[in-house]
Amino acid sequence: MDLYSVTLEGPAPWGFRLQGGKDFNMPLTVSRLTPGGKAAQQNVGVGDWVVSIDGVNAEGLTHVEAQNKIKACTDRLSLTLSR
C-alpha cells in the first residue's frame, strides 16, 4: 500500500468515476478512468483508494459528501490516493 498525491489542473471533468462511501460501507475508490482524461494523464489507477480530497481526509465521508467536495474544487483538484 503506497500513498501518492496528484494535483489535477481544472476545470472539471477530471476523468474518473468515484465509487463507494461510508453509506455504502465501501471505501471511496476509482472504479473507472476516462481514457486520456486528466486523471489518467496523472497516472491515477483504477481501483485506487481515495485517501484525501483537497487535503481533507476522505475516510468517513458519504458518497454525496465526497462527490460534493470534489465538485467544490474548480481550478485545481488535489488528491491523495493509495494503490
- State which of residues 12, 41, 59, 83 lies at the interface with other proteins (CB under 8 A): 12
Q: Does 5 bind other proteins (CB under 8 A)?
A: no
Distance, CA of 6 to CA of 18 (rounded, Å): 15
- The total of other beta-carbon atoms located within 10 Å of residue 77's CB is 23
- State the nearest-atom distance from the C-beta of 67 to other proteins, in Å: 5
DSSP-assigned beta bridge partners for residue 1:
none
Q: Give the residue carrying C-alpha cell 471511496.
A: 28
Q: Give the residue carrying C-alpha cell 481515495.
A: 50
Q: Which of residues 22-81 bind other proteins (CB under 8 A)?
A: 24-26, 29, 31-32, 45-47, 62-64, 67-68, 70-72
How many residues does this entry show for the chain? 83
Write out the residues near other proteins by the rule CB under 8 A.
12-14, 16-21, 24-26, 29, 31-32, 45-47, 62-64, 67-68, 70-72
